[in-house]
Amino acid sequence: MEPTSQMGMNRTGAQMSPMDTEKMERYSESMGPDVGIDDMNAPAEAQPAAELRAQYIDEAHLVGSVPLPGTVKGAMSTTMDKLTGNRPEVLIDKLGERLAFERQGTRLYELMMAKCREMDTSALDPDVLSTLSHFRDEEAEHFALVDESMRALGADPTAMTPCADVAAVASMGVLQAIADPRTTVPQCLNALLTAEMTDNAGWELLIKLADSTGHTEMADKFRQALIEENEHMATIKQWLERAVVTEAS
């Protein structure tokens, strides 16, 4: 496998230019420290960034909303849930998040497969491509499972829920890292591990939420997905360790 870490002409560190570093330090000392958001005792005019941030937070609206049910079945199911004291919008929001994440997961594995086709990954595992393809298919199955669960509740799986929106923003870096043609297989595995760890925690939470709101049948189906997600996470972690340790020695 192509090495990830090589010595080269990297000039980003301070040691590469002691004279400029000295000038930079003199300048930063003359400017004094930035007054951060933590220093709430400082007068407002002394912390413009914190002041501006606070103003934005005060004025901001929420990131979107959970759509009202668009079908009779959805309206009835929502009413029943409300009558039993549950707020169905919380479950629908988190289902929407999982749906978006699994769709993204399918794309991440496709990008990963494209990368592995161009590189020698035999040191990781002789079956890397078929394992990745299997995981990609499972992500797609999980997507279909969540889609079906949302429809069963009468919710609209094509709507972007607030948590789906925020999760998509948070995971943008993972997609960018894997899609970057310069990144190596271990670097992509590292990014993929970030996604899989978040995904695992997401399924655990969804199972608890479905159970606690009385959707036990749904929770049981999600438990199977969690078993598969655990395998994804463990495999990616193991490959990453193998790749990095092999390269170092």
Query: In this structure, what token pair is assigned to residue 26?
Result: 């003199």
Q: How many residues bind Fe ion (CB under 5 A)?
A: 2
Q: Under rule CB under 5 A, which residues in 179-208 are in contact with Fe ion? A: none
Residue number with CB closer to Fe ion (150 or 226): 226
List of residues 6+ apart from 125 with CB closer than 8 A: 131, 239, 242
Report the residue number, 103 or 151, with the smaller CB distance to Fe ion.
103
Asked whether 171 and 101 are in contact (CB, 8 A), the reply is yes
Whether the Cβ atoms of residue 245 and residue 4 lie closer than 8 Å to each other: no
For residue 52, how many other CB atoms are within 10 A of its CB? 10
CB of 109 to Fe ion, least distance (A): 8
Residue 161, sorted as left (phi over 0), alpha (psi -120 to 50) or beta, turns out to be beta
Nearer to Fe ion by C-beta: 215 or 232? 232
CB of 233 to Fe ion, least distance (A): 7
* Nearest residue to the partner Fe ion, using Cβ: 232
Site for Fe ion in 215-244 (CB under 5 A): 229, 232
| Cα–Cα distance measured from residue 137 to residue 110, given in angstroms and rounded to the nearest whole number | 10
CB of 160 to Fe ion, least distance (A): 21
Nearer to Fe ion, 78 or 101 (CB): 101
Q: Give the separation between CA 159 and CA 93, rounded to whole angstroms.
A: 10
Residue 135 Cβ vs Fe ion, minimum distance, rounded to whole Å: 6
Q: Nearest distance from residue 170's CB to Fe ion, in Å?
A: 16
CB-nearer residue toward Fe ion: 190 or 213:
190
User: Please, what is the minimum distance in Å from the beta carbon of residue 175 to Fe ion?
Assistant: 14
Q: C-alpha angle 106/111/113, rounded to 5°?
A: 95
Q: Which amino acid, one-letter code, is at 167?
A: A
Binding to Fe ion in span 53-72, by CB under 5 A: none
Regarding 136 and contact with Fe ion (CB under 5 A), the answer is no
| Token representation of residue 188 | 């992509």
Residue 155: what residue type?
A
What is the rounded distance in angstroms from the CA atom of residue 162 to the CA atom of residue 65?
6
Minimum CB distance to Fe ion smaller for 66 or for 100: 100
- Contact residues for Fe ion (CB under 5 A)? 229, 232
